[in-house]
Amino acid sequence: MASRIFFCLWGYLLLVLPATASAALSPYYYGGTCPNALPTIKRVVEAAVSRERRMGASLLRLHFHDCFVNGCDASLLLDPSPTIDSEKNALPNANSTRGFEVIDQIKSEVDKACGRPVVSCADILAVAARDSVVALSTIQANFLVYYCCFEIFVFKMRTKFSDLLSPFSDLPELISGFKKHGLNEKDLVVLSGGHTLGFAQCGTFKNRTYNETYNINPNFAQKLRSSCPPNGGDRNLAPLDPTPARFDIAYFTNLKYKKGLLHSDQQLFSGGSTDNLVKTYSSNPQAFWRDFAKSMVKMGNIKPLTGNQGQVRLNCRMAN
C-alpha cells in the first residue's frame, strides 16, 4: 500500500484558509512528483466540457456522491464485482451518475504524463470537479487555487448508500444529513448551489410539480408538466436552474421565486433557518464563490484515510 498522499484543488481570489484547515495539507506534492499532472487533468476536462457542457455538472456530481458515502475515496468509480457492492447501482446513482469515461481518459493520460500511476483516482475526481466549475464559471479569470487533502483509496465494501440525501428530503433531513458528515447549514446551502449546473430527471421532481401547492410558482409548475407527464417520462430532463451550463447564482434567485426544481432545493427557502443564506447568495456572487470553495474543502476532508490504508489504483474501476 502506498502512504497517504494529500492533494486537491479548490480556489478563489484572495481566499485564505485558517491554520487549522491547512495543518496537514501538501500543496506541492504533484509539483515534485509529476508537474504535468494538473495541466493534463485540466486539458482533458476542458475538452470534455467543450464537447458537452453538461459534462461539467456530471463531473462535479461524481465528486459529491463519492464523498457522501464514507468519504472521498473514489469508490463510486468501482464497477460491480463479487466483492464490491458497487455504488453505481445504488438508487441515487443508477442511470443517473455519468462521466466515468472522462475519468478513465484522465487517468490514462495522467499516467502517461507522469510515466507511472502516481495520481490517485480520488484526486482526479476532486481536481476534475474543480476544473469543471472553473470552465463553466462566469468569473473564471478570478480563480486561484489552493490545495486540500484527499486520501488515495482503500479497498472495502461500501453499503452506506442511505447517506446520499434524497431529492424529496425536507429541511430537517438535509440539515441532519450534512451534520452527520461534519457540515453545517452554511455548507448545506452553499454546496447545494452546485445545482446551478446540470439537469434532473422527471422522476425526481414529478411529485413536486403535480402535488405540491405550497412554495412552488404555479406558472413554473405548469411549464414543467410539458416535459414531465403524470405517467411515464421519468427520465426526461429539466434544467436545475435557467442557466444549467453556467456556474452562477441563478439557482438561488430561482429559490426566492419558488422555482426550485427539486423539493429538497426549495426547502432551503421555505420559511426556515436557511432563508437568509439563500438571500445572501442570490445577491452576492462573490460570497457564493468564496464560500463554495471553503465548503468544498470541508467536504473533501470527510473521513480521510491515513498511514498505510491507501493505494493509488491502476484502474479507477477496480481495486489493485
Question: In DSSP terms, which residues pair with 245 in a beta bridge?
Answer: 197
Contact present, 153 and 66 (Cβ < 8 Å): no
Question: Cα separation of 116 and 108, whole Å?
Answer: 10
Place of cell 493505494: 311
Active site residue 263: no
Q: Which among 63, 65, 195, 263 is annotated as catalytic?
A: 65
**Three cell numbers written together for 124:** 482526479
40-77 core/surface letters (b: 16 or more CB in 10 A; e: else): bbbebbeebbeeebbbbbbbbbbbbbbbbbbbbbbbbb
> In Å, how far are 30, 109, 116, 200, 299 from 9, measured between CA atoms?
11, 19, 21, 27, 13
Question: Cα separation of 71 and 211, whole Å?
Answer: 35
Annotated catalytic residues are 65
